[in-house]
Amino acid sequence: MPSHSHGPVIDLRSDTVTRPTPAMRQAMASAEVGDDVLGDDPTVIALQERIAQLMGKEAACFMPSGTMANQCAIRAHTEPGDEIIAHGDSHIIHYETGGPAALSGVMVCPLSGAAGIFDAPDVEHAVRGNDCHSPHSRLLIVENTHNRGGGSVWPIEQIQRVTSAAKKHGLRTHLDGARVWNACAATGLKPADYARHFDTLSCCFSKGLGAPVGSAVCGDKATIVRVHRFRKMFGGAMRQSGIIAAAALHALEHHRERLVDDHANARRLADMLREIPGISTPLAVQTNMVFFDLAPKLGTAANFAARLHQRGVWMLATAPQRMRAVCHLDVDRNMIERACEVARELAGADTPVGAR
């Protein structure tokens, strides 16, 4: 863990910053491996079987990143000139470098809706008629939990409604479930309860679950054959990848139950931050993410982030006055409270009597 003159760094930039635990490193060190491009790495095979089973799908394909997982799924479902329907704040639009256009030659029709969530009439309205002028509406993508929506959780009934609307019009459906584990921890639903509404889903092992690398795409056999082909085309086929698959397997078995702790820490963090004059939390904390806004008197988010960083508290500025902090495996309750104290000091607020 990096340290700092004020003690260990409290890194709240993302849940991707976690270091593998000693037990995870042990699992990696002792992993049996083969050559996954030749199809005989037993640990990758075991991971793919395990994740497919957890999701209630026929097959799965291990991926180097969540971005590649989404992009291979998009490529597998579409042809150039097709259109995807997704929320305008979605990860595939903002953080995947224009991948849908560059790699699949598709357009994205952006929907609006609070916290990254839309409903069936929005889908109905976006689906295009079948004439020679229009792109083909081909694929609906739902992101759960929703990153830019503040780690928001889709109500399962609403997932059922939007995917039914899509299917009625012959669209395929994909869940960007990078943080579907957090949705499960928040609702008590099983991953398969979400997955059953979609043709394919991607999920990430290197965020809340704490593995160093890796994601997966799950779906029916025929679609996963295509996903696997595009993974190769995009340069993501790996050799002795059992080493990292072992970390993902370990994370699946050992790090899912504890996600509720991250959610409790995030609520605590938001509660403490909200008490600081000039700080507000515009998005409800539903999972492990906290977004907070700074009043102009506290300076810009970039400046606040830089001052926090000097004091060993790392967060991201995501807009001129907006900051993001994410709770994860490597931050405990004490670190959360320490981070708030530092924020309080920087904001020039007195420590409340009860907290002295």
Name the residues that contact ligand PLP, by CB under 6 A: 65-67, 70, 91, 143, 147, 176, 178, 204, 215
For the bound state, the minimum distance from the C-beta of residue 92 to ligand PLP, rounded and expressed in Å, comes to: 7
Beta bridge partners of 280: 293
For the bound state, the minimum distance from the C-beta of residue 133 to ligand PLP, rounded and expressed in Å, comes to: 32
For the bound state, the minimum distance from the C-beta of residue 214 to ligand PLP, rounded and expressed in Å, comes to: 8
For ligand PLP, which is the closer residue by CB, 330 or 343?
330
Q: Which region holds residue 98: left if phi is over 0, alpha if psi is between -120 and 50, else beta? A: left
Give the separation between CA 333 and CA 264, rounded to whole angstroms. 9
For the bound state, the minimum distance from the C-beta of residue 148 to ligand PLP, rounded and expressed in Å, comes to: 8
For ligand PLP, which is the closer residue by CB, 175 or 276?
175
Residue type, 47: L
Q: Where are the alpha helices (DSSP H) in 96-241?
A: 99-104, 120-126, 156-168, 180-187, 191-195, 221-233
Give the separation between CA 336 and CA 263, rounded to whole angstroms. 12
For ligand PLP, which is the closer residue by CB, 172 or 338?
172
For the bound state, the minimum distance from the C-beta of residue 66 to ligand PLP, rounded and expressed in Å, comes to: 2
Q: Give the residue among 65, 85, 87 at the shortest CA–CA distance from 139.
A: 85
Give the separation between CA 303 and CA 307, rounded to whole angstroms. 6
How far, in Å, are 9, 192, 262, 265 from residue 257 at the CA level?
25, 16, 10, 14
For ligand PLP, which is the closer residue by CB, 86 or 346?
86
For the bound state, the minimum distance from the C-beta of residue 162 to ligand PLP, rounded and expressed in Å, comes to: 16
Residues in contact with 196: Cβ distance below 8 Å, sequence separation at least 6, in sequence order: 56
For ligand PLP, which is the closer residue by CB, 39 or 155?
155
Give the separation between CA 254 and CA 240, rounded to whole angstroms. 23
Number of residue whose CB is nearest ligand PLP: 66
Give the separation between CA 248 and CA 54, rounded to whole angstroms. 13
For ligand PLP, which is the closer residue by CB, 146 or 344?
146
Q: What share of the chain is helix, strand, coil (3-state, %, to 5)?
A: 45, 20, 40
For ligand PLP, which is the closer residue by CB, 48 or 67?
67
Q: Distance between terminal CA atoms of the chain? A: 28
Residue 36 near residue 239 (C-beta atoms within 8 A): yes
For ligand PLP, which is the closer residue by CB, 67 or 173?
67
- Pairing mode, strands 107-111 and 322-326: unpaired
For ligand PLP, which is the closer residue by CB, 203 or 276?
203
For the bound state, the minimum distance from the C-beta of residue 298 to ligand PLP, rounded and expressed in Å, comes to: 27
Q: What is the maximum span of the chain, computed from C-alpha positions, in angstroms?
A: 70
For the bound state, the minimum distance from the C-beta of residue 251 to ligand PLP, rounded and expressed in Å, comes to: 14
For the bound state, the minimum distance from the C-beta of residue 288 to ligand PLP, rounded and expressed in Å, comes to: 11
- Pairing mode, strands 313-314 and 10-11: parallel
Size of the chain in residues: 356
